[in-house]
Amino acid sequence: MTVTDIDAIPDFARADLAGSGKRVRLRDLYHDDFGADLYDDIGFSNTSEVFEILSAIKGHPGPVLELAAGSGRVTVPMVAGGRDVTAVDLSDTMLTLLRRRLDAAPRLRGTARLVQGDMATHAEPEKSVAAAVIATTSISLLTDDARRGMWRNLFGQLLSGGVLVVSTVELDAEHAGGDAIARTRAEGAGGRHVRMIESWPAAATERVVVMYDEDQLTGPGDTVEVCVTRIGVVPADVVTAELAEVGFTIRRTRVVTTPDGRHRYLVIEAVTP
C-alpha cells in the first residue's frame, strides 16, 4: 500500500484529516484487509433493504443468485431462511469474511456457493435462476455499458417468472437542494468509530465517500488509514427503463429511507415473462 501525503484526499475532506499531523495511508474499501474489515464492521449489522429483498424473493422458490454479495449482509439472512444461494463478489477478501461467517454458524456451515467473479459477466446456465439480487446500490460500481450488459445476462439466466431485485440510491428530495457534503459517524460492531464524509452535489453523476477510523486519528499511532470510494449515481428511472428495454416487467419499487433521512434506497423488483 502507498503511504501518501494529505494531497491524495479530496478537497472536501482534507481539513478533517490535516490537523492531526498524521500520515495518510490510502486503503481499498473492498480489496484489502483494513477496508473490508471497516466495511464489514459498520455494514454487516445494517438491516436496510433486507426485509424488502427477502419478501421480494419469497414467492420465487429455487436457486438465488446474489451479485456483489460482499461479506454477506444479505446472503446470511437468505441462507438462514433456507434459500440455495450462489454469492458472487469480485473481492476475495470480502468472500473470505463471508465464508468465515457462514462457517462460524453450525447451521449455515457449507451453505451458499461462493464465487469470485465480476457481476457484469458472471454466467449461470440459461434459465436456471429463480431470483437474482443486487443490494446496497452495488450496480453503481459498474460503468453504464457493463451495467446494461449485466441486465441482458441476467434476463437470460432467470427462469420464466423469475425476479430480479436491485437497489439504487437517490438523495432525498428535501436534502437534494441542501448541503453537498454530509458528515456522519457510525459505531462499528467491533466498537470503533467510523467517520464518513460524503460529497454528493445535486445532479452529480458521481458521489465520493471518504471513510476512516476516528480512533486512529486521535490515537497514538502516526498513521491514519483512509478509504476513498467513488460511486456512480444511477437514478431509479434509468434502471427501470434499462430493465424494461431488455424485456423485464417492473413489478414494484419500494422506498427505504435511511435513519439520517438523506438517502432514499429504491428496491426495484423486475420479473421475467
Ligand X SMILES: C[S@@+](CC[C@H](N)C(=O)[O-])C[C@H]1O[C@@H](n2cnc3c(N)ncnc32)[C@H](O)[C@@H]1O
- Which is closer to ligand X, CB of 134 or CB of 271? 134
How many other β-carbons are positioned within 10 Å of the β-carbon of residue 151? Answer: 22
Give the span between the Cα atoms of 110 and 243, in whole angstroms. 34
Q: Residue 37 CB, nearest distance to ligand X (Å)?
A: 12
How buried is 16 (Cβ within 10 angstroms: 0-12 exposed, 13-18 middle, 19+ buried)?
A: middle
Closest CA to 165 of 141, 123, 136: 136
Of all residues in the shown chain, the one whose CB is closest to ligand X is 70
Q: Which is nearer to ligand X, 77 or 201 (CB)?
A: 77
What's the closest the beta carbon of residue 101 comes to ligand X, in angstroms? 12
Min separation Cβ 229 and ligand X, Å: 9
DSSP SS3 for 82: coil
Residue with cell 451479485: 67
Query: Residue 205, Cβ neighbours under 10 Å: how many?
Result: 9
Query: Which element (helix H / strand E) includes 144?
Result: helix 144-157
Residues that bind ligand X (CB under 6 A): 30, 43, 68-70, 73-74, 88-91, 94, 118-120, 135-136, 138, 141-142
Backbone φ, ψ for residue 90 (5° rounding): -75, -30
**Smallest distance, ligand X to C-beta of residue 175, A:** 20
- Residue 50, C-alpha cell as written in the block: 433486507
Grid cell of 242 as nine digits: 434499462
Give the count of beta carbons closer than 10 Å to the beta carbon of residue 39: 24
Contact of 197 with 208, CB cutoff 8 Å: no
Closest distance of CB 22 from ligand X, Å: 27
Task: Compute the least distance from the CB of residue 49 to ligand X, in Å.
Answer: 7
Q: Which three cell numbers stand for residue 166?
A: 436491485
d(CA 219, CA 222): 8
Which of 51, 89, 73 minimizes the C-alpha distance to 165? Answer: 51
CB of 190 to ligand X, least distance (A): 16
